[in-house]
Amino acid sequence: MTRDLTATLPHAPDAPASAALLDRARAVTPGGVNSPVRAFRAVGGTPRFMTSGSGAWLTDADGHDYVDLVCSWGPMILGHAHPVVLEAVRRTIENGFSFGTPSENEVALAEEIVARVPPVEQLRLVSSGTEATMSAIRLARGYTGRSLVVKFAGHYHGHVDSLLVSAGSGVATLALPDSAGVPAEMAAETLVVPYNDVAAVEAVFAARGDQIACVITEAAAGNMGVVPPEPGFTQALRRITEQHGALLVSDEVMTGFRCSAAGWWGLEGVDVAPDLMTFGKVMGGGFPAAAFGGRRDVMALLAPDGPVYQAGTLSGNPVATAAGLATLQACDEALYDRLGTVSHTIAEAASQALTAAGVPHRVQWAGSMFSVFFREGPVRTYDDARAQDTAAFGRFFHAMLDAGVYLPPSAFESWFVSGAHDERALERVVSALPAAAAAAATA
Ligand SMILES: *Cc1c(COP(=O)(O)O)cnc(C)c1O
């Protein structure tokens, strides 16, 4: 486990209302949180309980405001409470919350995704990214009649039992090798190989290729910090899986509709069409909506047409799909241009400040997603990502928090911006950076 830094922090967190809420929360919820990384264990201190969000800004229970560089871990690509999405949600919710029947919004959202991402001929809506990857893997196993899954070290695909092996995100933050409660037999169905290592993928297929149902990969890794595939890597995955009759599953839960209108796939090009893709985060607009989809002949195996069972009481929820559709419709070229400008302004200012303070670092990109590794680069693998100065990041994080900038509370996460990050928000971030870099430098 990562050392709990709470006791060693140089400054007492000036957040009494959040601290009181955390005490209440801890009495009724393990760790006081409903998703581990929110607990600040990697950086120490009191997690802030937020009470409202508007545009680029969050306000906590003590009335402090922050420029939000987490954006709910990606979904809030337009900023908080965007008026167009708010109006779509209001209009929809007036007519009921959930029907347990088909409804038109689900069709419209599916049409929007199919139109944006041509490898997706059909898709099925679910409520979380975890459900999407879990279902995609069941489908790949049903289609191939094989059981093994290949994943990459440091890639996170949600908390699916068989994928919680060498996973990133909260698992990286807590430095858990994998999770208790996952049967060894289940973990044994997953073969973990180093990322960006074509020879390792070839070796695993040479040994067990006829038993491998699929390779699942983050289209560009974002859950160990941002580590994009090296040129030719995705093409190699496509070639090797095809040679061995295995499916290629591209997990775009984080990158989908964020890196471009067609996600990471849209940046990488047409010669790497995966068989199945998974989506979440942006496509729900801040509500629980996610999806998996791909080749029509593979999707045809899903119930009720085929033998692979998959279902969900709230799948395709009318309110969530309305929010997702309104969000995607507002994700036009101007929005992606703005995300590029905002992210480059922040990343360049961060890099300059860290350089000036003499802090070794490396900025890496996937579209407008970026992260700052507290080590020199390049970072190609999970081992590379883990070999960074997480204590320096913790000091940097707290100085930024004190200055009113909410960074992801872990060195292993992407920073996210939105179309609502305006000049005032940028000014807050840029002016906070020199002192934070100086704090990072003081060991
Ligand atoms: C966030 C994420 C998931 C899991 O999505 P949840 O909605 O949290 O279940 C899966 N894959 C990737 C790449 C993600 O970033």
List pLDDT tens digits, range 94-147.
999 999 999 999 999 999 999 999 999 999 999 999 999 999 999 999 999 999
DSSP 3-state of 400: helix
169: confidence class by pLDDT, cuts 50, 70, 90:
low
Residue 218 contacts residue 259 (beta carbons within 8 Å): no
**170 vs 149: which has the higher pLDDT:** 149
Tokens representing 187 are 């973990």
Pocket test for ligand 1, best of 130, 149, 216 (most atoms within 8 A of CB): 130
What confidence tens digit (pLDDT) does each residue in 339-382 have?
999 999 999 999 999 999 999 999 999 999 999 999 999 999 99
| pLDDT value at 2 more than 60 | no
Contacts 24+ apart (CB under 8 A), 372-376: 372/225, 372/347, 372/415, 373/225, 373/411, 374/411, 374/440
pLDDT, average across residues 35-40: 94
Residues shown for the chain: 443
Q: Lowest mean pLDDT of 113-122, 154-163, 219-228, 405-414, name the range.
A: 154-163
- 8-state DSSP, 229: P
Residue tagged active-site, from 281, 382, 389, 406: 281
Say yes or no to pLDDT of 67 above 50: yes
Using the predicted structure, report yes or no on whether residue 187 has a pLDDT greater than 60.
yes
How many other C-beta atoms are found inside a 10 Å radius of the C-beta of residue 275? 24
Q: 0.75 cut: is pTM over it?
A: yes
**Which atom belonging to ligand 1 lies closest to the Cα atom of 281?**
7
- Average of per-residue pLDDT across 256-267: 97
With both helix axes pointing from N to C terminus, report the angle between 104-116 and 318-330 in degrees, rounded to the nearest 10: 30
**Is 104 exposed, middle or buried, given 0-12, 13-18 or 19+ CB atoms closer than 10 A?**
exposed
Q: What is the Å distance from ligand 1's center to 210 Cα?
A: 28
**Does residue 311 have a pLDDT over 70?**
yes
Q: How far is the CA of 128 from the centre of ligand 1 (A)?
A: 7
Average pLDDT over residues 153-182: 76
Whether residue 393 has pLDDT greater than 70: yes
Q: Who has greater pLDDT, 207 or 10?
A: 207
Please report, rounded to a whole number, the percentage of residues in the chain having pLDDT higher than 90: 89
User: Predicted confidence band at 171 (pLDDT cuts at 50, 70, 90)?
Assistant: low
Residue 5 pLDDT level (bands cut at 50, 70, 90): very low
Atom of ligand 1 nearest to the CA of 129: 5
Tell me the mean pLDDT in the region 387-392: 97
Residue 347 phi, psi (nearest 5): -65, -40
Q: Which of 106, 65, 85, 222 is nearest to 156 (CA)?
A: 222
pLDDT in the model for residue 168: 66
Which token pair is 231?
């040129």
Query: At 176, is the pLDDT very low, low, confident or very high (cuts 50, 70, 90)?
Result: very low
| 382 catalytically annotated | no
Torsions phi, psi for 67 (to 5 deg): -75, 125
How far away, in angstroms, is 130 Cα from ligand 1 center? 6
The catalytic residue among 60, 62, 68, 156 is 156
Question: Would you place residue 154 in the very low, low, confident or very high pLDDT band (cuts 50, 70, 90)?
Answer: very high
Rounded to an integer, the average pLDDT of 221-234 is 97
Is residue 11 pLDDT above 60, yes or no? no
Pocket of ligand 1 (CB under 6 A): 128-130, 133, 156-158, 218, 222-223, 251, 253-254, 280, 290
Is 156 a residue of the active site? yes
